Structure 1
């Protein structure tokens, strides 16, 4: 192996040969589009099987957001941010609603395969939240445009297991730079 080179997997060689062929056919824009879209949504880890009783109690998240789930299927939220692109609308929602554990969610790539928690607030109280991930991590490049929260909102929340602990999370932000808004059991 020449100095300064690294071992390349067969899969990497095959991908490189495909792109060379595409470029040689004059299809460079298509190759660039394919390359940029292929990693926009990395698959989320499959959700473990959970029962409603395992999820009851208080959950805490970023920016002071929290919610509690009770055995009767009711929940109370404080400063819960919007999901996906709604996160960047700079609102938070507080109020009471209902929750349930669904066996599976088939709404796209924003929720993990497996058990999903559906949270619904009706007649919630709107609040202002931090601008976005950019302000949270200090880069401060986000827009300052703010919107009022809708009075009724539904979240599809994924479950993941870390050791013996469960975490609840939902995907927020632009699809090309999304991140997880995570909640720990208090």
Structure 2
């Protein structure tokens, strides 16, 4: 048994904080700022971007977009819908809750179809879990990051944003 009175006050505080993180399941980095990109050019985004389960987003030079099987971001991801259709995109420098860099804002303006992602095994055990229907229009805000080769990646957070689970789209290789 540890006698906490014998610990120096800073060590007692650190031990209490560590226990608190374990008890509440916190990610100690959940409020860290996201790396920001400030030097992206619009032309760098033109082309097709891919993700898992046949997701494809094509960004055209005129600001139009084709979207296929793109999941919702943040808590909308939990509803399991996947949207397809056409829309518009723009490169913005608006501050989001995550960083003050550039972002790609993608808006689905005309939904042509929607699909439902297969639930994970835990959800299959609870048939009472209800989900919102797929929206007719939707807007995603993608964070930007450069990899070690200075190539751009588009991503957004899915599920609880504090968990920092990322949905990453990578440029389609020719």
TM-score class, shorter-chain normalisation, is 0.7 to 0.9
The alpha-carbon deviation at position 166 of structure 1 amounts to: 1.4
Q: Does 1:174 align with 2:169?
A: no
CA distance in 2, matches of 1:77, 1:181: 15
1:114 counterpart (65, 78, 101): 101
The alpha-carbon deviation at position 15 of structure 1 amounts to: 5.6
What do the CA deviations read for 1:93-144 (whole angstroms, capped 9, x no partner)? 10000000002x32313xx43110000012312221233xxx3xxxx32466
The alpha-carbon deviation at position 158 of structure 1 amounts to: 1.1
Conserved? CA contact 1:90–1:145, under 8 Å = no
What do the CA deviations read for 1:76-107 (whole angstroms, capped 9, x no partner)? 0000000100001010110000000002x323
Identify unmatched segments of 5+ residues in structure 2. 1-7
- Aligned-residue Cα RMSD (Å) equals 3.0
What do the CA deviations read for 1:142-182 (whole angstroms, capped 9, x no partner)? 46644321011000001111113211101101234331100
Conserved? CA contact 2:95–2:101, under 8 Å = no
Number of matched residues?
158
Map 1:11-160 to 2 at 5 A: 16-18=11-13, 36=26, 38-103=28-93, 105-109=94-98, 112-124=99-111, 125-131=113-119, 135=120, 140-142=121-123, 145-160=130-145
Change (3 A) 1:81 1:175: same
Identify unmatched segments of 5+ residues in structure 1. 1-12
CA distance in 2, matches of 1:157, 1:145: 27
Change (3 A) 1:183 1:14: farther
TM-score (norm. length: structure 1): 0.72
